[in-house]
Structure 1
């Protein structure tokens, strides 16, 4: 369970990273839209796990690896933006947010279940 302090700091980081990726994201991933979906911060505020969602990319794993290779540069830019709000700029680690994929799989599963129920109900009525 995150404290209010962690949640507030994570929100600041999320906003600032979103602005960085909006302005300069094409330098890291050309023709790809990057969305920061979630930020989790450690209790000492020294480590931030940043979850990203990608649009217009074929390989999300490769995209995250590319962003992670620029994490030092991104951290420097983040530090310049939050220098008056934080004592320490957290170490950034980027991950793929696969929530959308999970939701799509669950929707397909629920659709299949409802189709199977409709088919079994139709067979019972015809008998």
Structure 2
């Protein structure tokens, strides 16, 4: 039963944090589309790891690593405010502490796909 509850909580958190990032966080340094790929909630529901990815045009790999660090720092600083907004939107006794992590699995999959496509074309 505990796994089912943490699954439901992570789905609700994913929806709410996505809405909050789109509507309530007005930081001009967040000039890209941030997507939440997964949320991993602890068994006692007091901690949540939020895995994000973002899309930005015309950026090289060095700038990308710099941008990732900057966005994660901004979200870490805003995590208390995000928790406050979640507490207003959801009827939960415990609002988990949020930790943000960059999820690069999409881009790794894209690179592998490009390598396979190039190998097939040759």
Q: CA deviation at 1:28?
A: 6.5
TM-score by length of 2: 0.81
Q: Is 1:26 the equivalent of 2:26?
A: yes
Contact 1:25–1:34 (CA under 8 A) maintained in structure 2: no
Contact 1:38–1:51 (CA under 8 A) maintained in structure 2: yes
Cα distance in 2 for partners of 1:111, 1:13 equals 37
Gaps of 5+ in 2: none
Closer, same or farther: CA 48–38 of 1 in aligned 2, 3 Å: same
Q: CA deviation at 1:53?
A: 1.4
Cα distance in 2 for partners of 1:55, 1:108 equals 18
Q: How many residues align?
A: 113
Q: Is 1:70 the equivalent of 2:78?
A: yes
Of structures 1 and 2, the one with the larger relative CO (CA 8 A, separation 6+) is 2
Q: Deviations over 1:9-36 (max 9, x none)?
A: 0001001111111102333744222111
| 1:102 corresponding residue in structure 2 | 108
TM-score by length of 1: 0.78
Cα distance in 2 for partners of 1:37, 1:51 equals 6
Partner SS state of residue 66, structure 1 = helix
Cα distance in 1 for partners of 2:117, 2:7 equals 36
CA RMSD of aligned residues (A): 2.0
Partner SS state of residue 70, structure 1 = helix
Gaps of 5+ in 1: 119-127
**Deviation larger for 38-47 or 101-110:** 101-110
Cα distance in 2 for partners of 1:51, 1:23 equals 19
